[in-house]
Amino acid sequence: MHSSDHHNSHNDVKNIKAAFFLNLLFTVIEFVGGLLTNSVAILSDAVHDLGDSFSLGLSWYFQKVAKRPRTKEFTYGYKRFSLLGAVINSMVLLVGSVMILVHAVPRLFKPQQPNVEGMLLLAILGVIINGLAVYRLRKGSSINERVVSLHLLEDVLGWLAVLAGAGVMYFVDAPIIDPILSFAITLYILFNVFRNMRESMRIILQGSPAKLNIEAVKSTLLEMDEVCSVHDLHTWSVDGEYNVLTIHVVLKENRTMADQQKLKNSIRESLLRLGVQHSTIEFELPDEDCDMEGCC
């Protein structure tokens, strides 16, 4: 069992590493190919893939870092470092997308004929190489691998769109399709950039986890026979997946230390099912002098 766990732990890093080098290699090919084919659609996707290369590189690095034990400096571990990577990646994509739009706008009014044969070749390579990366990552079991796999699957769909557009231009003289494709890809990138930035800032500012239902947490605890009320509830997320909660629980009557421990374990199990991985619980009594609202 230990050997199997060690093997899987080693494979997740290897899978992301392989996907990173495949994506980085093709990103270089895209930039060169986009310039040679005079296609802003190809260059737009090159910017997208450059962002993906940053994401994959950071995912590869953080997949190794996440295995480090907690330290005095980072008592919750190294999970939040991934937010730094997300912010950096978003900034790269934002700057790159603006540059692409600056070049694409004039072509809407004065379309330039791209090298359609070259676009078709690059699109086919894009589907194959990104498809290989997705296949490699889909064999993994870690959350990191699955998330990156979905990201690369979006790239495959993007290249299928480029392939379709180039196919149309091969038979029809419609060079305006190229800047239209560029706009579509770039707007899609910007939509995801702002969505990711919004999620990252919510976590950095210690907002309540979006997928955690606070009312469900309260009602679940109040349904327990031993609990009178709850208050001073705070919850936040370390990295968007690992959620933390602190809470004061007012008991109906005094209980032994052993009974309190059993109740704490029961509360933690309930919270875990609701999506809280780390909880700190403080018990109080109804007649306890309490400055917080919610005491019986």
| Domains observed in the chain | 2-204 (1.20.1510.10), 214-284 (3.30.70.1350)
- Pairing mode of beta strands 243-251, 227-237: antiparallel
From 129, 155, 147, 150, select the one nearest 47 (Cα to Cα): 155
Q: How far apart are CA 33 and CA 25, in angstroms?
A: 12
From 239, 252, 243, select the one nearest 272 (Cα to Cα): 243
- Give the pTM: 0.66
Quick check: 221 and 249 in contact, CB under 8 A? yes
Per-residue pLDDT of the chain (296 residues; tens, 9 = 90+): 444 444 444 566 677 777 788 888 888 888 888 888 888 878 887 887 787 787 778 767 766 776 677 788 888 777 777 677 677 767 777 887 787 788 778 878 887 778 888 888 888 988 888 788 777 766 654 545 555 665 677 677 777 888 888 888 888 888 888 888 878 878 887 887 888 788 888 888 889 998 899 999 999 999 999 999 999 999 999 878 789 999 999 999 888 999 999 999 999 999 999 999 999 999 998 877 665 554 44
| Angle formed at CA 170 by CA 169 and CA 173, multiple of 5 degrees | 50
With H, G, I as helix, E, B as strand and everything else as coil, classify residue 285: coil
Q: How far apart are CA 23 and CA 29, in angstroms?
A: 10
